[in-house]
Amino acid sequence: MATLDKAEALLEELRAASWDAAVRDLAEVQAFARERGFEGELRQWDVSFWAERLREERYAITDEQLRPYFALPAVLEGLFAVSSLSADGLPRCAAGVLTSAGLSPSKTESKQGPVL
């Protein structure tokens, strides 16, 4: 059963595992911004801008070019496809309807049978 202590332990485990990589990534973005004429220390609102410029230069692709491949219906279909391969009881969506309020699954089931 999930508890607050277990959740906090999981978050700490994730933080510890990702900290060094995050520090390296930030240093790389700061160096990139300096090379492009940015003076001073990057603030939170600067990091995303310069990280995107770095990705554009490194991979020659923008978020806007990737957007069609990560449309919400496609992402949800992939999520449910992966979850259906997992242990019994995880939900899988056979068909869903996307509304302005969110996903309204028309048929959601687990390996034990229908859920909705």
Each residue's pLDDT tens digit, 20-39: 999 999 999 999 999 999 99
Same domain, 27 and 54: yes
Against a cut of 0.85, is the pTM above it? no
Torsion sign, CA atoms 99, 100, 101, 102: positive
Task: State the total domains in the chain.
Answer: 2
Q: Are residues 53 and 20 in the same domain?
A: yes
How sure is the predictor about 101, in pLDDT bands with cuts at 50, 70 and 90?
very low
Give the structural domain span for 77: 71-114
* Helical axes 4-35 vs 44-59, angle rounded to 10°: 70
Residue 87: per-residue pLDDT: 55
The stretch 30-54 carries a mean pLDDT of 95
The answer on pLDDT for 116 being more than 80 is no
Q: What is the pLDDT of residues 81-93, one digit of tens each?
A: 776 665 554 454 5
Instruction: Report yes or no on 23 lying in a domain.
Output: yes
